[in-house]
Amino acid sequence: MAVGGKRRWWWKRRAAVVAGVTIAVSVWVGSHCYFRRENMAKAEEALVSMCEERARMIQDQFAVSVNHVHALAILISTFYYQKQPPALDQETFAYYTAKTAFERPLLNGVAYAERIIHSQREIFETRQGWTIMTMKREPSPMQDEYAPVIYSQETVSYIEAIDMMSGEEDRENILRARATGKAVLTKPFRLLESNHLGVVLTFPVYRSGLPEDATVEQRVEATAGYLGGAFDVESLVENLLRQLAGNQDITINVYDITNASEPLIMYGPQIPEGYMPLSHVSMLDFGDPFRKHQMHCSRYREKPPLPLSAITTPFGIFVIIMLGGYIVFAAKNHYDNVKEDCRKMEELKVQAEAADFLATVSHEIRTPMNGVLGMLDMLLDTDLNLTQKDYAQTAQVCGKALISLINEVLDRAKIEAGKLEIEAVPFDLRSILDDVISLFSSKSREKGIELAVFVSDKVPEVVTGDPGRFRQIITNLVGNSVKFTERGHIFVQVHLADNSDLGADEKVHSGLNGLSRSEKVQIMSDCTFDTLSGFEAADTRNNWENFKLLLSDEMCLQEASTSDKEPDIVTLIVSVEDTGIGIPLRAQDRVFTPFMQADSSTSRNYGGTGIGLSITKCLVELMGGQINFISRPNVGSTFTFTAVFKRCNKDAIADTKRTLSEALPTGFKGMKAFIVDGKPVRNAVTRYHLKRLGIAVEVANTVKMMLNSLTRQNSNFRTGRQPYIILIEKDSWYTGMDVYLHNQLLMLKQNDCVLELPKVILLVTCEYDKMSSGSLVDTVIIKPLRASTVAACLQQVLGMEKQQKKELSNGPTNLRNLLAGKNILVVDDNKVNLRVAASALKKYGATVECAESGKDALSLLQLPHKFDACFMDVQMPEMDGFEATRQIRLMESKANEQISNGGASRGEDSMIVEWHLPILAMTADVIQATYEECLKCGMDGYVSKPFEEQQLFQAVAKFLVSKPSSDS
């Protein structure tokens, strides 16, 4: 769940980041677009206003000019036609127009052409003194009427006498002007002189008396002449625009769109340029209703530059959103972290509380348990028959296991709090495995499954490491296996790591040179698989072929490398193989996850919390190893782990062996045994246990083979002085076998093949099989095999019980040895406690003196004194144990100084180099803090109150054993 949750959390986080960035980017893009559009709109608005402004200006200027031309027309009609004689001549006109030219900035110049009917031409020509000319400066051909220029401004004086009707444009203009009575314009064309684009304005001049609503005919009739002027649109517009601001930004085209499909350019470049998308069209009204004009403005010769704000502002917003998002994200993260931390703290708190609780409770459990164990110790000292002894031993082992379990529960709390330390003490791996096996023996017997241990000979007898954790791992694994196995076997193997690898590598060759063909065939016919029980195991590496290789390999290695310097580190491979229900494939990847069993039905059927394997994994990793497993559903599981231990030096081995409570009896050395067993793995296990007892072993597949070999061997050598033991596996046994075997053996004895009748021991896996053993079997051993069980059986069969009893009871004997004849001072203010402690010590032969307070103790301990040790209560009125100890130590150090100064030499005590009385605290609550305080004030150790034999022994052994005089 943790993994899933983490992944989901990660996805959520990722999605949040992506969403945040997306929002920021889209806001950025959106605001950028908005600013751009806004900018465009503003530009367009500016363009429209600029365009309209220009259009209006041009229009106004134009109108002003037109109005003035209109005024000139009135002037002409007034002074030329209504005065007799006319008050106007060319000179006056030229002068007047030149003077008023500022009023018509758009006009190059004005000229007046009179309407002349053909009939009047001659009179007119003679009066003027010139002939009417066409535009091409030729004398005009005959026309219906003419419009020769009579007056002209000086700027356009070159058109004098030219008939305006001769030009196509002008003629049209004249006709239209006189018909409408308004100013009319030509379409734009190139002007004569400047070659600029321009238009010609024509204004009719009527004789007086024309009514406002005159018809066209009346107008034509009343027409006297025409006033005309040329607008140089191009240069004029340019002049005009030059006066206005923002000229660079704008391009202007003026069109004549009278013919809408074919607009004629009046101003501006022929091909429109600039940034077309942004443009505006303004209508121009030059006062001529016939002609329509338009002004096209396009803003910006180039694409308008993007304003900086359109980039910076969105970018700023983007940054702000990103920052905001980050802040929210960081806050959320922080919140999550804090929440997680808080949860962890809560957990730790709970764990710490649990740990405290466990520490208290475990103490309360330990005290009565010690009583139970003590009683069992006593019980074992009494005369018991084999079964009773087995039961008592099992009870004792289980009790010890309970005590260690309590410690393990404490450890679990410590592991979870991350405070577990790994011990490094020498221990005997094999006896630990035997203990574990015996712990599960009743279960395995009940279920009828084979439970066996095999430790390779290469594995040193004593290694340095943490026996408790090692036992815990094995117990967990075997416990699991026992729980989930209903048939077949559970097999614990220990090999050296490098050795085991070698075996695995060479497995390939085994078919070629490993086994002889016949042997193999026989094995295959005997049982389906070459495993311990014949059931298939999940990990095929553990079958016989490989196992055998390991064994043989071991032998040659042992021969080869006995003198070699052995490395300091011993890496062991331990495998626990079962033929149980296996682990479902889908559950295999979370086997080591706490509280995760294969499925919910598992805990229903088999119980347990499922934390065991996770603890096991932690422990294995703490011990520098790795754990993994192979499992096949309905076939079984094989858990394999490596463990790193240190090799012990020889002294330590001897030391450890001496203190090991359950040393194996040594009385079997040189004995011989025959194992009748068809299953090679199983007989290797049996052999292993017998070898540990020092018994030489031979193996036969069947009873018959055994008998044959017995006959052959002994008739050849006749050396069998030692008693013979025959161990027969259950499956080589059948009803009536006992009689047959007995007879055969009797026969052998008669034939002098054996000196004594061999003892026959049947090996069975469950109680039930015991029934079928028959009467002539010496004894039956119910598996699992343990060296000590086998030894006990053999002792019983061979009549060596007394020897064994002596060996077994060496624990209290040791304590007796240690304490006998010792002078011990017990200090306790509580009389009852004092009395009990004193008599307990007396029981082991010590001479005890009592003191009821710290002060009494001090006075008794004035140097020199005769005491060998002092047991001191911690909590006493007036002077408590700590204070008393401090004073004693002070006294001693003073005396020691004197000795070293050579100041004092006492006759009998002169051999004592230094005064140091071992002081042991007696305390009811054995907690770490008390212990540390004990050491701080100079005490040497502590014992729990009331006394517990084992602990008392351990505490006392530390200082009393080292004095040679003490062993009496």
- CB nearer to other proteins: pick between 419 and 831: 831
Binding to other proteins by CB under 8 A, coded x per residue (else -) over 456-495, reads ----------------------------------------
Phi, psi of 570 (to 5 degrees): -115, 120
Nearest approach, Cβ of residue 400 and other proteins (Å): 16
813 binds other proteins (CB under 8 A): no
- Could you say which residues in the range 631-650 bind other proteins, by CB under 8 A? none
37 binds other proteins (CB under 8 A): no
829 binds other proteins (CB under 8 A): yes
- CB nearer to other proteins: pick between 691 and 843: 843
The answer to whether the CB of 942 falls within 8 A of the CB of 921 is yes
- CB nearer to other proteins: pick between 384 and 840: 840
- CB nearer to other proteins: pick between 366 and 489: 366
- Could you say which residues in the range 910-929 bind other proteins, by CB under 8 A? 924
Would you tell me how many other CB atoms lie within 10 Å of the CB of residue 261? 5
The answer to whether the CB of 201 falls within 8 A of the CB of 107 is yes
- CB nearer to other proteins: pick between 667 and 845: 845
- CB nearer to other proteins: pick between 636 and 881: 881
- CB nearer to other proteins: pick between 56 and 842: 842
- CB nearer to other proteins: pick between 700 and 848: 848
The answer to whether the CB of 942 falls within 8 A of the CB of 871 is no
Nearest approach, Cβ of residue 919 and other proteins (Å): 19
Nearest approach, Cβ of residue 901 and other proteins (Å): 42
The answer to whether the CB of 737 falls within 8 A of the CB of 774 is yes
Nearest approach, Cβ of residue 836 and other proteins (Å): 5
Q: What angle do CA 485, 487, 491 make, to 5 degrees?
A: 65
Residue that has been written with the tokens 């002294």 in this structure: 651
Nearest approach, Cβ of residue 377 and other proteins (Å): 10
Q: What angle do CA 481, 443, 527 make, to 5 degrees?
A: 65
C-alpha to C-alpha distance for 411 and 421, rounded to whole angstroms: 9
946 binds other proteins (CB under 8 A): yes
C-alpha to C-alpha distance for 742 and 640, rounded to whole angstroms: 43
- CB nearer to other proteins: pick between 454 and 844: 844
Cα-Cα-Cα-Cα torsion 479, 485, 488, 493, nearest 10 degrees, comes to -30
C-alpha to C-alpha distance for 664 and 765, rounded to whole angstroms: 23
- Tell me how many residues contact other proteins (CB under 8 A): 28
Q: What angle do CA 829, 831, 836 make, to 5 degrees?
A: 115
Q: Residues 842, 866, 894, 936: which binds other proteins (CB under 8 A)?
A: 842
- 308, exposed or middle or buried, with CB in 10 Å at 0-12, 13-18, 19+? exposed
Strand 941-944 with 569-578, pairing: unpaired
Residue that has been written with the tokens 């021991």 in this structure: 761
Q: Residues 210, 409, 836, 858: which binds other proteins (CB under 8 A)?
A: 836
C-alpha to C-alpha distance for 819 and 955, rounded to whole angstroms: 12
- CB nearer to other proteins: pick between 343 and 835: 835
DSSP string, 651-675: HHHHHHHHH-TTPPP-TTTT-EEEE
The answer to whether the CB of 251 falls within 8 A of the CB of 273 is yes
- CB nearer to other proteins: pick between 22 and 839: 839
Nearest approach, Cβ of residue 837 and other proteins (Å): 8
- CB nearer to other proteins: pick between 192 and 379: 379
- CB nearer to other proteins: pick between 142 and 832: 832
Nearest approach, Cβ of residue 966 and other proteins (Å): 22
830 binds other proteins (CB under 8 A): yes
- Could you say which residues in the range 322-381 bind other proteins, by CB under 8 A? 367-368, 370-372, 374-375, 378
- CB nearer to other proteins: pick between 175 and 836: 836
> Is the peptide bond prior to 964 cis by the omega test (within 30 degrees of 0)?
no
Phi, psi of 46 (to 5 degrees): -60, -40
C-alpha to C-alpha distance for 701 and 732, rounded to whole angstroms: 8
User: E strand or H helix at 372, and its extent?
Assistant: helix 308-381
C-alpha to C-alpha distance for 851 and 824, rounded to whole angstroms: 11
Q: Which of the ranges 83-91, 208-216, 858-866, 939-947 carries the binding residues for other proteins, by CB under 8 A?
A: 939-947
- Could you say which residues in the range 236-295 bind other proteins, by CB under 8 A? none
930 binds other proteins (CB under 8 A): no
Strand 462-465 with 425-428, pairing: antiparallel
Nearest approach, Cβ of residue 363 and other proteins (Å): 12
Residues pairing with 201 in the sheet: 185, 229
432 binds other proteins (CB under 8 A): no
Nearest approach, Cβ of residue 871 and other proteins (Å): 13
835 binds other proteins (CB under 8 A): yes
Q: What angle do CA 344, 346, 349 make, to 5 degrees?
A: 110
- CB nearer to other proteins: pick between 757 and 924: 924
C-alpha to C-alpha distance for 739 and 518, rounded to whole angstroms: 31
- Could you say which residues in the range 87-126 bind other proteins, by CB under 8 A? none
DSSP string, 270-339: SS--S-TTSEEEEEE--S-SS--EEEEEEE-SSPPPPPHHHHHHHHHHHHHHHHHHHHHHHHHHHHHHHH
Nearest approach, Cβ of residue 370 and other proteins (Å): 7
Q: Residues 82, 388, 839, 900: which binds other proteins (CB under 8 A)?
A: 839
- CB nearer to other proteins: pick between 694 and 812: 812
944 binds other proteins (CB under 8 A): no
- CB nearer to other proteins: pick between 389 and 945: 945
Longest dimension (CA), the chain: 192
Nearest approach, Cβ of residue 831 and other proteins (Å): 5
- Could you say which residues in the range 861-900 bind other proteins, by CB under 8 A? 873, 875, 877
Nearest approach, Cβ of residue 815 and other proteins (Å): 14
Q: Residues 771, 832, 911, 929: which binds other proteins (CB under 8 A)?
A: 832
Nearest approach, Cβ of residue 769 and other proteins (Å): 38
Q: Residues 78, 155, 394, 833: which binds other proteins (CB under 8 A)?
A: 833
Nearest approach, Cβ of residue 851 and other proteins (Å): 16
840 binds other proteins (CB under 8 A): yes
C-alpha to C-alpha distance for 258 and 301, rounded to whole angstroms: 27
The answer to whether the CB of 685 falls within 8 A of the CB of 785 is yes
Structure tokens at 299: 């803003």
Nearest approach, Cβ of residue 838 and other proteins (Å): 10
Nearest approach, Cβ of residue 407 and other proteins (Å): 20
Say how far residue 415 (Cα) sits from the centre of its chain. 21
Cα-Cα-Cα-Cα torsion 561, 565, 567, 571, nearest 10 degrees, comes to 20
Residue that has been written with the tokens 């050396």 in this structure: 719
Binding to other proteins by CB under 8 A, coded x per residue (else -) over 530-549, reads --------------------
The answer to whether the CB of 93 falls within 8 A of the CB of 221 is no
945 binds other proteins (CB under 8 A): yes
Nearest approach, Cβ of residue 828 and other proteins (Å): 8
Task: Tell me the three state secondary structure of residue 582.
Answer: coil
Nearest approach, Cβ of residue 389 and other proteins (Å): 20
Chain positions contacting other proteins, by CB under 8 A: 367-368, 370-372, 374-375, 378, 828-833, 835-837, 839-840, 842-843, 873, 875, 877, 924, 945-947
